[in-house]
Amino acid sequence: MAFKHFITLYDVRSTLDPPAWSPNVWKVRFILNFKRLPYCTQFLAYPDIAGVLSSVGAPPTRAEMPQYTVPAILDEAEGSSPLALSDSSHIAMHLDKTYPEPSIFPGGCHREQMRYAAAIHKHVMLPMLHMVVPSTVDILEGRDLDYYLATREGFLGIALEDMFPPHKQQAVWDGILRGLDELAALIDSSRDHRAGPWMFSPVENPSYADFVLGAMLIWFRRAGPRGCWDRICRRNDGKWEHLLQILEPYMEVL
Ligand SMILES: N[C@@H](CCC(=O)N[C@@H](CS)C(=O)NCC(=O)O)C(=O)O
């Protein structure tokens, strides 16, 4: 193989072009692009994730089914044995430790970035799940769709049809808007600690939590119901639309 160093990023496919929609994979894609690491994405069918990841030696991320999840990476460098890793936060730590420049934890702000990521999970990802998980059926087909329909209730503990039925839609929207307002308040309250245009970074470059939030917003925009992004993108002084605009240099799907 004519390479010194190469990374394979494992993602799950969809009918979109490009297929990338999974929020946890977007976190890693942003980091690979930001660090300009040589990589390519292998898009897997949902039912093939476990077989492919176990065959390359990526560890399971869960004790129960599904045990294997994307993102996973295979990091191959000439002269050392290939390293297979799974779980977006483990992969982020590995990439920043192994390829430290530019850092996603500038000034060693790892703990603070993880605190912001937890807030994003609580205020953005969890409220959006109820809307995006059921609408994901619209971007899957064939074996992927069959697998998704058969496994979501076991994965999430709630049937797809109970997540966003007409009588719950207002409450789900209220939860999403409230979550965004809470995150916006957190961002505004820490404005003095930032030097550049980013929401969570103390320096001119983006940091880990900026990528985590970007990943959630891309997921919502690409896999959520038609028109949902238009309803939130200019809320909270246009923060969310602005973040995706300034993240564009790191959005390439390779
Ligand atoms: N904690 C894991 C969660 C990853 C995860 O849940 N990935 C989903 C796609 S976003 C998956 O691979 N699901 C496999 C399945 O449902 O069978 C991480 O952060 O990487």
Give the model confidence (pLDDT) of 9-31 as tens digits: 999 999 999 999 999 999 999 99
pLDDT digits (tens, 9 = 90+) for 67-87: 999 999 999 988 889 999 999
Residue 73 Cα to ligand 1 midpoint, Å, equals 13
Probe residue for ligand 1, chosen from 69, 86, 145, 211 as the CB with the greatest number of ligand atoms within 8 Å: 69
Q: What is the pLDDT of residue 163?
A: 95
Is the pLDDT confidence value at 200 over 80? Answer: yes
Q: Please name the residue that has the structure tokens 């942003």.
A: 30
178 SS3 class: helix
Q: What is the pLDDT of residue 2?
A: 55
β-bridge mates for residue 11, sequence order? 43
Residues in contact with 56: Cβ distance below 8 Å, sequence separation at least 6, in sequence order: 8, 72, 74, 82, 84
Does residue 63 sit in the same domain as residue 124?
Answer: no
The rounded distance, in Å, linking the Cα atoms of 57 and 96 is 21
pLDDT digits (tens, 9 = 90+) for 29-50: 999 999 999 999 999 999 999 9
> Closest Cα to residue 73, out of 18, 13, 28?
28
Which residue has its alpha carbon closest to ligand 1 atom 14? Answer: 69
| Structural domain that includes position 16 | 5-98
**Would 103 be classed as within a structural domain?**
no
Does residue 132 sit in the same domain as residue 233?
Answer: yes
Residue 70 Cα to ligand 1 midpoint, Å, equals 5
- Domain end (from 98, 118, 148): 98
φ/ψ of 233, rounded to 5, equals -65, -30
- Domain end (from 51, 78, 98): 98
Does residue 151 sit in the same domain as residue 177?
Answer: yes
pLDDT digits (tens, 9 = 90+) for 172-199: 999 999 999 999 999 999 887 788 899 9
Q: Strand 5-12 relative to strand 39-44: parallel, antiparallel, unpaired? A: parallel
Residue 40 Cα to ligand 1 midpoint, Å, equals 19
The rounded distance, in Å, linking the Cα atoms of 184 and 181 is 5
Q: What is the pLDDT of residue 12?
A: 98
Give the DSSP per-residue string, 118-131: HHHIIIIIHHHHHH
Residue 45 Cα to ligand 1 midpoint, Å, equals 13
Q: Name all residues whose Cβ lies below 6 A of ligand 1.
A: 12, 22-24, 46, 49, 61, 66, 69-71, 87-89, 151, 155
Q: What is the pLDDT of residue 190?
A: 86
Residue 69 Cα to ligand 1 midpoint, Å, equals 4
**Would 31 be classed as within a structural domain?**
yes
Does residue 89 sit in the same domain as residue 151?
Answer: no
The rounded distance, in Å, linking the Cα atoms of 76 and 7 is 6
Q: What is the pLDDT of residue 108?
A: 80
CATH number for the domain that contains residue 73: 3.40.30.10
Does residue 142 sit in the same domain as residue 48?
Answer: no
Strand order in the sheet with 39-44: 39-44, 5-12, 72-77, 83-86
Is the pLDDT confidence value at 1 over 50? Answer: no
**Would 105 be classed as within a structural domain?**
no
Q: Which atom of ligand 1 is nearest to the CA of 86?
A: 20
Residue 90 Cα to ligand 1 midpoint, Å, equals 13
Does residue 182 sit in the same domain as residue 203?
Answer: yes
Is the pLDDT confidence value at 251 over 60? Answer: yes
Does residue 236 sit in the same domain as residue 130?
Answer: yes
Does residue 243 sit in the same domain as residue 151?
Answer: yes
Does residue 49 sit in the same domain as residue 118?
Answer: no
Beta carbons of 27 and 215 less than 8 angstroms apart: yes
Total count of domains within the chain: 2
CATH number for the domain that contains residue 210: 1.20.1050.10
pLDDT digits (tens, 9 = 90+) for 206-249: 999 999 999 999 999 999 999 999 999 999 999 999 999 999 99
**Would 214 be classed as within a structural domain?**
yes
Is the pLDDT confidence value at 164 over 70? Answer: yes
Q: Which atom of ligand 1 is nearest to the CA of 66?
A: 17
